[in-house]
Structure 1
Amino acid sequence: MKQPVADKVKFSDALWASIKRAGIARADVLRAARMPVSVMANEAPLSTAQFFALWNVLPELSGEPAIGLRIAAGLQGLAMRPSFLVAYHARDFRDALQRVARFKRLCVPEEICLDEHEDRGEIVVTWTYGNGQTTPSALIDTVFASLLELGRQGTATPISALMLELARPQNAIADYENYFGCRVRFGAEQDRLIFQRNDLDRPFVTYNAELLDILIPELDRRLEQQTRHATLAEQIRWVLRRRLTAGRLDIRAVATELAMSSRSLQRRLTDEGLTFQSLLSDTRHQLALEYLTDPELEIIEVAYMLGYEDQNSFFRAFRQWEELTPTAWRSTRKLLPQPNG
């Protein structure tokens, strides 16, 4: 079985600084996204759902549908994470994008895919723990704009995209066309940034082979360690997230998925001070909060997706988690600022 990347995201200081440059106070973002105290104190990593919640409130707080473009521009000149640092010193634009795709997983459970066809290179971004949620528009814009800025700064040329495709309804089209220098198609099937293939061949003036020789072995070591040593709890949560909709899951089914006996799995859980039921409950709790933010899902559908045999069992569990019914909790979300499309 492929080892999972943990559902942990660290909201970097550089990102907070860029958001501040855009005129949005950190306290306002955390309050609007209803973050727990540990996140407000910057003491705990975020889950993907929490990370998405932060990004979702930014357009409303700023009053700018294209706020992600300003955030990306504000990141320039700030301290970069290692995944972007090695990219800025890559051999060419293609090499830079490939290095970002490889090493960004050290920071976030995000997959950047570069697929080349004849005269073009297409970039698509997915989130390992997105679970069908719509990726926040501000996050998509920031990622795509940051990749474009990487190419522009590395090559020292005003590269433009060939096309930008966005799955959302049309909004602020002039902002996007001016920034990316290309035609923008809204209502697309998938968010996609497309470059001319010959732009990917452009050499980087910032190429530094000596620095890469120093940084890359260490990043490779960290990536291998992260992939190989995912905790047992993370592996179990990974299986549970994938398999809950298939029906009731017991420890035998999870052990089979992890290629071990149920007795061995139980022994390892005991050694680590864990129980299967607590991991199952925690996973259901997190998924319930994610699913309930989607107004299109009926409560009974959410219960089914979490592997409950009936709606009443889900209601009882949810009241233990949140001291509210699922319906009441969902109603509180309607009072929060909603992101622009």
Structure 2
Amino acid sequence: MHTADAENYHGEMASERFTVDPGARALLHDLEISVAHVLRRAQLPAGVFAHGPVTMTAEEYYRFWDAMDAEAADPDLAVRIGRALSVEAFNPPIFAALCSANLRTAAERIAVFKPLIGPMNLAVTADRGGLTIGFHWPEGQAPPRLLVAAELAFWVALARIGTRHEVHPTRVAMRRAPQPSATTTSYFGTPIREAEADTVTFSAEDASLPFLTEDESMWTFFAPELRRRLSELEASATTADRVRAALHERLPAGESSINAIAGQLMLSPRTLQRQLQSEGTSYQAVLSDTREKLARRYLTDRSLTTSQVAYLLAYDDTNSFYRAFRRWTGLTPEAARAGGHLTMT
């Protein structure tokens, strides 16, 4: 099993700005939706797309998608968006993903750079059961239903463009699933289910189908610039934020030590601990908090056994995880699962 998680969100996210896909204006034109009307509904400047790259706060981004939904008044708009996507409309992080060998590699790459594109992060889980891509949104306001559905449709479009096969996911789920629609079910090949998380799952076979668009030299060209932009975004994060992000990447690989995390952040363990202390916390506190939040999330996925969750959190053995979970919650993982006690209080 392999998990890649780029989550690095906190309460201040709503004030941060994210780059809007430059193909949004062309996409609205192709969908025959008035850009001017959408911007007016969203209470955004009329000339927002006229002066180079567009950035919005999470709140503005949500208003933009709500306005698009209201203007179109089409319950199947997410499917129309998926069908309208093309290579030409993709921005650099997405185009770079198409340079990948297959959907799994593309998902793992996008998970790293998704914060550059919009207010969300991705959790990518790949094992023999398939490839699952989960979406994590800012705390507070729920994301627009159209935005979530369009993100799900995007992954289907990406898989089809890359492989030139009519790939269908094995499962599509949303926390606020829309009313059943024959058009949507036909596009995905399966109904959108109501669930505790927004996810799309592909079979292991489809996730490993070769991308005919693979171009490793083009990826080599894109990657340094994407990493530079991501570094600029992360520069404003606290040390605790950066440690959490590194832990999301390292824990599934079995690494939880301060030496491993400090090395990834290019700091000495002593400097890392000193910076955390200046923020009123410690490495052990951040590690414990991160593990608890991940444990609660992983346990909502009933396909994961308790021992697998312990492995993903880099515990030496399942008993160590049991002791930690009981310390956090007063319950065993099984009892928390059965009683629905997995939400952070």
Give the 3-state SS of the residue equivalent to 2:60 in structure 1: helix
* RMSD (Å), alpha carbons: 3.0
Residue 177 (structure 1) aligned with residue 182 (structure 2): no
Q: Deviations over 1:161-187 (max 9, x none)?
A: 1011122254252122111112332x3
% of aligned pairs identical?
Answer: 25
Matched positions, count: 236
CA contact (8 A) 1:66 1:138 kept: no
Quote the Cα distance in structure 2 between the aligned partners of 1:150 and 1:261. Answer: 41
C-alpha deviations, 1:73-109, integer Å up to 9, x for none? 2231434211111110101111011111112222323
Q: 1:142 aligns with which of 126, 134, 150?
A: 150
CA distance in 1 between partners of 2:25 and 2:55 (Å): 14
Match of 1:206 in 2: 213
Distance 1:59 1:73 in 2: 16
In the alignment, which residue of structure 2 is the partner of 1:85?
95
Could you list the per-position Cα deviations for residues 218-246 of structure 1 after superposition, in whole angstroms to 9, with x for gaps in the alignment? Answer: 3223323432x32xxx769x9xxxxxxxx
CA distance in 2, matches of 1:53, 1:165: 23
Shift of residue 151, structure 1, vs aligned partner? 1.0
Task: Tell me: CA distance 1:109–1:184, structure 2 relative to 1, closer, same or farther (3 Å).
Answer: closer
- The answer for the alignment partner of 2:77 in structure 1 is 67
Aligned-pair distance for 1:62?
1.0
1:195 aligned onto 2:202? yes
Q: Is the 8 A contact 1:14 1:75 kept in 2?
A: no
User: In structure 2, do the counterparts of structure 1 residues 30 and 199 end up closer, same or farther at CA, with 3 Å as the change threshold?
Assistant: same
Partner of 2:113: 103
Partners in 2 of 1:99 and 1:32 — Cα distance?
34
Map of 1:151 onto structure 2? 159
TM-score by length of 2: 0.61
Residues in 2 aligned to 1:41 and 1:152: alpha-carbon distance in whole angstroms: 31
Deviation at 1:38, TM superposition (A): 7.6
Look up the match of 2:19: 10
**Counterpart residue number, 1:51:** 61
Misfit runs of 4+, over 3 Å: 2-6, 36-44, 256-262
Give yes or no for contact 2:21–2:90 (8 Å, CA) kept in 1.
no
Cα gap change, 1:147/1:199 in structure 2, threshold over 3 Å: closer, same or farther? same
Whole-Å Cα distance in 1 between the matches of residues 87 and 231 of structure 2?
Answer: 30
Paired AA for residue 91 in structure 1: A
- Whether 2:124 is the aligned partner of 1:114: answer yes
The amino acid across from 1:31 in the alignment is R
SS at match of 2:167: coil
1:110 & 1:181 partners in 2: Cα distance? Answer: 25
State whether residues 39 and 64 of structure 2, in contact with CA within 8 Å, keep that contact through their aligned partners in structure 1: yes
Correspondence for 2:36: 27
Unaligned runs of 5+ in 2: 1-7, 242-273, 281-345
CA distance in 1, matches of 2:276, 2:118: 23
Structure-2 separation of matches of 1:16 and 1:172? 29
8 Å Cα contact 2:20-2:117 kept in structure 1: no
The question of whether the paired residues in 1 share the 8 Å contact of 2:22 and 2:91 is answered with no
Could you say if the C-alpha distance between residues 42 and 209 of structure 1 is closer, same or farther in structure 2, counting changes exceeding 3 Å?
Answer: closer
Change (3 A) 1:59 1:219: closer
1:3–1:169 Cα change, 3 Å: closer
**Contact 1:89/1:209 (<8 A) preserved:** yes
Distance 1:77 1:258, change over 3 A: same
Choose the corresponding residue for 2:133, options 123, 127, 135. 123
Give the 3 Å change call, closer, same or farther, for CA 137–203 of structure 1 in structure 2: same
Q: 1:214 to 1:39 in 2, by over 3 A?
A: closer
Contact 1:114 1:122 in 2 (8 A): yes
| Whole-angstrom CA distance in 2 between matches of 1:199 and 1:40 | 36
What is the letter of the counterpart of residue 53 of structure 1?
R
Give the whole-Å Cα distance in 2 for the aligned partners of 1:225 and 1:56: 29
